[in-house]
Homo-oligomer: A and B are copies of this chain.
């Protein structure tokens, strides 16, 4: 059960915040060859939650999402995108059923889900006053979450998987030069499945976003693998184009 001080502290927002609308953020990072999401634990709460919060009356929804993510996790200047909205009756009311009815948090909240894929080395998780854990959690085995945060995370993952089937991914997530198996490992971590090497190579080459380097990687007993880097201009073009 969330401790009273946490609820009191966050409840103080109510005079500044819009009723019924909240935001939850899913921040994905590629770490140790696995897809991770940044998650918190509230003081007194055993289960994980996504960084989330309320929207100020004088603030746009997008600005609220960026502020909330920064305040709750330290992740700054992240461009977030809406992927879905969670609006079932009782999603927030039920979670707070053991608390008094006039608790700000206990009203019905329709929560807007935002997500982004980031370079995890650029994000240093920091604790806010409400939480005692904030860290990267692997998503291949979903952790126990509060409310419908597990469903929110799952749907964000689906959105990310859809995104990589029509847009390139990897820029800023991999070192400046990388091998084909490293790029494939990123795609496999996102898709949660092994990919055929030849098919992957053919499809990724069709984007025309990779430049093969003259030098291959040194060291190791095997034949040195080819190194690639992203062609920034073509990569940006591919982000904007539709694939027909």
Instruction: Give the B-binding residues of A (Cβ under 8 A).
Output: 18-21, 55, 57-62, 64, 82, 84-89, 108, 110, 112, 161-162, 164-166, 187, 191, 195, 199-200, 203, 242-244
Shortest distance in angstroms between A71's beta carbon and chain B's nearest beta carbon? Answer: 18
Chain A interface, >50% SS class: mixed
CA distance A89 to B244 in the complex (A): 36
Chain B, Cβ-Cβ closest to A200:
B244
Name 6 extra pairs, CB < 8 A, besides A19-B20, A187-B244, A200-B244: A20-B21, A57-B108, A58-B89, A82-B84, A165-B244, A203-B243
Instruction: Kindly name the residue among A18, A199, A200 whose own CB sees the greatest number of chain B CB atoms within 10 A.
Output: A18
Q: In the complex, are the beta carbons of A89 and B59 less than 8 A apart?
A: yes
14 A–B contact pairs at CB < 8 A?
A18-B110, A20-B20, A20-B21, A60-B87, A60-B89, A87-B112, A112-B112, A162-B166, A162-B242, A165-B243, A191-B242, A199-B244, A203-B243, A203-B244
How many subunits of this chain does the assembly comprise?
A: 2
A20 in complex: contacting residue of B18, B161, B242, CB < 8 Å: B18
Please tell me which one of the listed residues B55, B89, B166, B243 contacts residue A110 in the complex, with CB atoms under 8 A apart: B55
Contacts of A89 in B (CB 8 A): 57-60
- A88–B110 touching, CB < 8 Å: no
In Å, the complex CA distance between A97 and B77 comes to 34
B87 touches A62 (CB 8 A): yes
Chain B residues contacting A59 (CB-CB under 8 Å) are: 89
Residue in B closest to A155 when the chains form the complex, CB atoms:
B82
Which residue from B57, B82, B166, B195 sits with its C-beta under 8 Å from A165? B166
* In the complex, chain B residues whose CB is within 8 Å of the CB of A84: 82
- Chain A to chain B: the 5 pairs with minimum beta-carbon distance, closest first: A61-B87, A165-B166, A165-B243, A166-B166, A60-B88
